Amino acid sequence: MKLAASGFVLLVAWMLLSGNAAFAAGEEPMRVAIVGLVHGHAEGFLSSVGHRTDIKIVGISEPDRKLFDQYAKKFGLDASLYHADLEEMLNATKPQAVLAYSNTFDHRKIVETCAKHHVAVMMEKPLAVSAADARAIEKAAREAKIVVLVNYFTTWVPSNHAVYDVVHAGTIGDVRKIVVHSGHMGPKEIGVGPEFLGWLTDPKLNGAGALYDFGCYGADLATWLMDGQKPLTVTAVTQQIKPDVYPKVDDEATIILTYPKAQAIFQASWNWAIGRQDMEVYGKSGYVLTSGNDGVKVRVAGEKDERSEAAPRIRAPYDDELSYLRAVLMNEVKPEGLSSLETNVIVAEIMDAARESAATGKTVKFGKQ
């Protein structure tokens, strides 16, 4: 989901262009196919991908031909790329990987179809609309021995990695509390396209409203920071502050996870006056906060003031989603952390429990939902 219509495009452009620098001359470009154009992040991808030489789009599967034609006109796409059906496209184009820009509900079907063709998949976050779908995706990927990755823009933000490094260096002691703020003014308010808005505000296709759209960022970051540890309990509260705008789904959500000696709190909202994506981690002996995309603020017990530090640039191929995907497919790196299937099955389980907690008003013991 975009933080702002233009801001997301610029962020994607920076990530894609920076990743292209690591591509060696003479290497064959990675053959990718796109499935779905109803996710607004497809626009950010297509606005920048023309500058890259390390990938080649070999096909686009989208049932809505008018939607494809809109994108084709805007981004100069060849009409020969169009396919109405995913399986037909896979047979015709033989891609190495599929990039999914569909609604979240369709992720399971896309992975199961690609698994039959032994084609890797990277989809936009979150992995699935339910824990059951996430486990089915995991099963299909394992049996077909394909790579499945989940793309969060937060994965490629230097300040998040700087926070991780501070935490794992022991600088602030054992983690006691993680707080993640995610969201913006609302998808309608920031002007997402009708094809995007339609499924984002559908509880079946999106899983929920702001709860799923932005709560998953916190669940992903916390699971990563906690080294894959699963929470003990999940508690969530949702509201419809704007029922006239979003009558079918929540637009405000807070999720609380408990661990044996820590808590994680995710504030997901379509009601922020200003779009935000930031994180705070409090340890036994200090804290570290993200400061924009490129810095952190750190303070340790005994220090009079917090200090600002620049976040080191993320080294290739971990600096953008396509470079990372290519490296995984080439067996240069092992899938792990924020984008990995292992992490995101846990994220899906957390989100499923959060939805149940919000619906019942009760805390859910993790693994018991």
Mean pLDDT in residue range 207-235: 98
Q: Where are the domains of the chain?
A: 5-154, 157-313+335-365
Angle 210-225/341-360 helices, nearest 10 degrees? 130
Q: Is the pLDDT of residue 57 over 90?
A: yes
For strand 175-183 and strand 276-283, is the pairing parallel, antiparallel, or unpaired? antiparallel
Q: Quote the pLDDT of residue 27.
A: 77
Residue 30 has pLDDT above 80, yes or no: yes
The topology (CATH level 3) of 157-313+335-365 is Dihydrodipicolinate Reductase; domain 2 (3.30.360)
Domain 5-154 maps to which CATH number in 3.40.50.720, 3.40.50.2300, 3.40.640.10, 3.40.50.300? 3.40.50.720
- Give residue 191's pLDDT: 96
**Average pLDDT over every residue of 163-173:** 98
Dihedral angle sign, alpha carbons of residues 134, 136, 140, 142: positive
Among residues 290, 271, 276, which one has the least CA distance to residue 7? 276
Q: Nearest-5° angle of CA 212, CA 15, CA 112?
A: 50
- Measured over the CA atoms of residue 92, residue 93, residue 95 and residue 99, the dihedral's sign is negative
- Give me the helix-helix angle, 210-225 and 158-168, nearest 10°: 40
pTM: 0.92
Beta strands across the sheet bearing 252-259:
307-310, 295-300, 286-290, 276-283, 175-183, 262-269, 252-259, 233-239, 364-365
Would you state the pLDDT for residue 15? 46
- Average pLDDT (130-157) is 98
Please give the Cα distance from 220 to 197 (Å, whole number): 23
Whole-angstrom Cα distance, residue 110 to residue 96? 15
Q: How far is CA 361 from the centre of its chain?
A: 27
Mean per-residue pLDDT, 349-355: 98
**Could you read off the pLDDT of 283-298 as tens digits, one per residue?**
999 999 999 999 999 9
Residue 16: pLDDT over 90: no
pLDDT at 336: 95
Predicted pLDDT at 47: 87
pLDDT at position 51 is 79
What is the pLDDT of the chain when averaged over all its residues? 93
State pLDDT tens for residues 244-261. 999 999 999 999 999 999
When pLDDT is cut at 50, 70 and 90, the band that residue 26 belongs to is low
Question: Average pLDDT in the 60-67 region?
Answer: 98
The pLDDT, as a whole number, for residue 68 is 98
Integer CA distances (angstroms), 222 to 173, 225, 367, in order? 16, 5, 17
pLDDT at 1 over 50: no
Q: Which pLDDT score, from 0 to 100, does residue 8 have? A: 44
pLDDT at 368: 54
The predicted pLDDT at position 46 comes to: 93
Give mean pLDDT, residues 114-122: 98
Residue 52 and residue 20 in contact, taking contact as beta carbons nearer than 8 Å: yes
Cα-trace Rg, the chain: 20
What is the percentage of the chain residues whose pLDDT exceeds 70? 92
> Cα(145)–Cα(227) distance, rounded to whole angstroms?
24
Compute the C-alpha angle 135/36/156, nearest 5°.
70
Q: State percent of the chain over pLDDT 90.
A: 89
Contacts of 314 (CB under 8 A, 6+ apart): 156, 158, 161
How much is the pLDDT for 196? 98
